[in-house]
Structure 1
Amino acid sequence: MRITTNALIRNYKSNLSASINNLNISRTHVMTQRSFNTAAEDPASAARASQLHRKYYKNQDNLKMLDEVQSRQDGQEDALRQVSNMVKTISKNYNIQALNGTNQTKEVRQSYASAIRQFQQSMVLSLNSTYEDTFLFAGSDGKNPPFELSSNGTLSYRGIDVNASKGSADYQKLKTMSNENLYVDLGMGLSMDNYDQVVSSSAFNMSLPGINAVGYGSDENGMSNNIIVMAGKLADALEADTFDADQFRNLMNKFDTLGTNLTNQITELGVKSEFLTTTKDRLDNAEISIQEQMSSVEGVDMAEAITNYSWDQYAYNAALKVGTSILSSSFIDFMR
């Protein structure tokens, strides 16, 4: 078979191009530490890697949301602890001492009442605390302060008197607001039921309406179930011209009971915080697992990649060396 010079050159150029391409691919593998850089190189692995990347970024979103929720809940817990500490201070420093016979002068009782009213105002301020631009205890209406204490001692939650009588329209509104939920997806498989409502077990409820913590309505004796209102009632009893010790003792007992309810609410927040901690550990472990899977699908064995690169470099240099001598002798050299 006759091999022409043009055929030899075309074959050389084709092989040299293939050698350059192989060298470029192996160099890219070493630099990027990836087994493929385009879907065309490995379609099956590229499809698998795409799924893993979606899972990874979704997990990252869940972790960011969890940090937001945890910070928000820390703010709620701090505010409730402030209120709880005020309640304990009132019970310890004023309620019991007010019943002491040596402290039952009008001036002393007046000073106790003034201190309790200051605590009452501070409780409202704590419950109107915010996280970023959202009020922590406003339920679904996080843009407006939930509590307002008027000069006559009336406490309202989102415009409704917290002492609304049971069975009234306002009481039903308060009850509805106390059950408001604000669900967030933390990677638990958020799903909806047949009524397009979030399945509670598939999401985390970060809502905490303030009236759940401090109470609303009244009991069968007509006493308020709200601890802030009860603080005002204690102050009223202390400011009365005639101090009724029995009445004050009943008010104090009710106040202490509501303080226990507030402590229980803080405990529930602690349980939710523990759940968030557990969820964060799960998401962190999931991130590590996904990264390992991504590495196994996309990553390259560096020892093998460097070996391949060295071989392709050697082949390319050899091709260049052949190219310098491929036309060193031609038909013209033999013409005399």
Structure 2
Amino acid sequence: MRITTNAILRDYKSNLAATIDNLNLSRTRVMTQRSFNSVAEDPGSAARASQLHRKYYKIQDNLSMLTDIQSRQDGQEGALTQVSNMVKTISEDYNVQAMSGDKQTPETRQTFAAAIRQYQKSMVLSLNSTYEDTFLFAGSDGKNAPFELSADGKTLTYRGINVDAPMNTSDYASLTNLSNEKLYVDLGMGLSLDEADQVVPSSAFNISLPGIKAIGYGQDKNGMSNNVVVLAGQLVEALEAKNFDADAYGKLMNKFKDLSTNILNGITDLGVKSEFLTTTKDRLEDADISIQEQMQKVEGIDPAAAITDYMWNQYAYNAALKVGTSILSPSFIDFMR
């Protein structure tokens, strides 16, 4: 079989082009650290990588949301702790001193009344705390300040409703509904809905903390307020009265101390939620590491093998160039001087 020069040249150019393609491919793999850079190179791995990337970005979204919620809860816990400390100060200092025999002068009681009044206003400010542009204790309505205290300190409203509403009234029923409001977010627990299109509580995380639930609302069977802010105002009124009624003041003081437990319970609940968030974050971070390892196996490369492959293709390309000089036939010009 006779092999012509043109056939040799065609075959050489074809092989040289393949060698250049292999060199470029191996060079690209070394630079990108990926086993493939287009779907056409490995359709099966590309499909698997696409699924892993969707899971990876979902986990990143959940971690970002979780970090935001943790910051929000830190703000809630800090504000409630401030309110709890103010209630404790009133209970342990001003109330006790106001009832002491050597302190029961009109001037002294006026001083205590002014201090408690300031604490009352400060409690409302703490309960109207915000995180970014959202009110922390407004339930599902985070865009409007939840609490408003009247100028005389006698009336406190939560989202426009008097918190001192008696039982068996429409306002009391509304406050009960508001105190049980939920606001769910998806943290990767398989968010799902029930038959009534309501979020299944176990599949999401509730970030709502209605302030009315923490500080109380309504009245007890004796007609005394169940709200610490309102009671603080009533303590002030008792201290400012011309005829100080020690017995009535003592009853208010005991009720005030009892209600402080609700605030502590609210702080405890936040602590439990924070622990849950920490556990969830650990789980998501473990899942994140696992997904990255799977992505590396599917679309990553072994750096040592990739560099070795590149060096071999570089060697093959250089060899091909040298072979090219030997297969070209000498021409008449080569013999001219």
Smaller-chain TM-score range? Answer: over 0.9
State the secondary structure of the residue aligned to 1:40. helix
Does residue 287 of structure 1 match 2:262? no
Report the CA distance shift for 1:258/1:322 in structure 2 as closer, same or farther (over 3 A): same
Does residue 107 of structure 1 match 2:113? no
Counterpart in the other structure of 1:25: 25
Give the paired residue count: 334
Partners in 1 of 2:151 and 2:309 — Cα distance? Answer: 83
Partners in 2 of 1:238 and 1:282 — Cα distance? Answer: 54
Correspondences of 1:156-305 after superposition (within 5 Å): 156-305=157-306
Correspondences of 1:305-320 after superposition (within 5 Å): 305-320=306-321
Partners in 2 of 1:253 and 1:289 — Cα distance? Answer: 56
Partners in 2 of 1:136 and 1:332 — Cα distance? Answer: 90
Partners in 2 of 1:253 and 1:187 — Cα distance? Answer: 45
Deviation at 1:53, TM superposition (A): 0.7
Deviation at 1:330, TM superposition (A): 6.7
Counterpart in the other structure of 1:96: 96
Partners in 2 of 1:324 and 1:330 — Cα distance? Answer: 13
Deviation at 1:307, TM superposition (A): 1.3
Partners in 1 of 2:171 and 2:207 — Cα distance? Answer: 25
Does residue 38 of structure 1 match 2:49? no
Deviation at 1:332, TM superposition (A): 10
State the secondary structure of the residue aligned to 1:30. helix
Deviation at 1:244, TM superposition (A): 1.5
Supply the AA of the counterpart residue of 2:82: Q
Does residue 126 of structure 1 match 2:119? no
**Percent identical:** 73
State the secondary structure of the residue aligned to 1:138. coil
Deviations 1:267-290 (CA, angstroms, capped at 9, x unpaired): 111111111111111111111111
Partners in 1 of 2:308 and 2:151 — Cα distance? Answer: 83
Counterpart in the other structure of 2:156: 155
Deviation at 1:295, TM superposition (A): 0.9
Supply the AA of the counterpart residue of 2:255: K
Supply the AA of the counterpart residue of 2:29: H
Moved over 2 A (4+): 328-334
Supply the AA of the counterpart residue of 2:317: Y
Counterpart in the other structure of 1:74: 74
Supply the AA of the counterpart residue of 1:93: D
Report the CA distance shift for 1:318/1:117 in structure 2 as closer, same or farther (over 3 A): same
Provide the TM-score with structure 1 as the length reference. Answer: 0.96
Unmatched tracts of structure 1, length 5 or more: none
Partners in 2 of 1:333 and 1:261 — Cα distance? Answer: 103
Deviation at 1:314, TM superposition (A): 1.1
Deviations 1:70-97 (CA, angstroms, capped at 9, x unpaired): 1111111100000001001101111111
Deviation at 1:2, TM superposition (A): 2.1
Partners in 2 of 1:19 and 1:121 — Cα distance? Answer: 81
**Which range moved further: 185-194 or 323-332?**
323-332
Report the CA distance shift for 1:166/1:325 in structure 2 as closer, same or farther (over 3 A): same
Partners in 2 of 1:106 and 1:314 — Cα distance? Answer: 101
Q: What is the root-mean-square deviation in Å for CA atoms of aligned residues?
A: 1.5
Partners in 1 of 2:331 and 2:302 — Cα distance? Answer: 46
Provide the TM-score with structure 2 as the length reference. Answer: 0.96
Deviations 1:42-73 (CA, angstroms, capped at 9, x unpaired): 11111111111111111111111011101111
State the secondary structure of the residue aligned to 2:197. coil
Partners in 2 of 1:196 and 1:78 — Cα distance? Answer: 34
Deviations 1:8-50 (CA, angstroms, capped at 9, x unpaired): 2111111110000011111111111111111111111111111
Deviations 1:128-163 (CA, angstroms, capped at 9, x unpaired): 111111111111111111100002310000111001
Supply the AA of the counterpart residue of 1:59: I
Partners in 2 of 1:49 and 1:151 — Cα distance? Answer: 63
Report the CA distance shift for 1:5/1:109 in structure 2 as closer, same or farther (over 3 A): same
Counterpart in the other structure of 1:145: 145
Report the CA distance shift for 1:333/1:93 in structure 2 as closer, same or farther (over 3 A): closer
Supply the AA of the counterpart residue of 2:71: S
Partners in 1 of 2:234 and 2:53 — Cα distance? Answer: 60
Partners in 2 of 1:127 and 1:327 — Cα distance? Answer: 89
Deviations 1:174-210 (CA, angstroms, capped at 9, x unpaired): 1111111111111111111111111111111001111
Supply the AA of the counterpart residue of 1:225: N
Deviation at 1:328, TM superposition (A): 2.8
Supply the AA of the counterpart residue of 1:296: K
**Which range moved further: 68-77 or 165-174?**
165-174
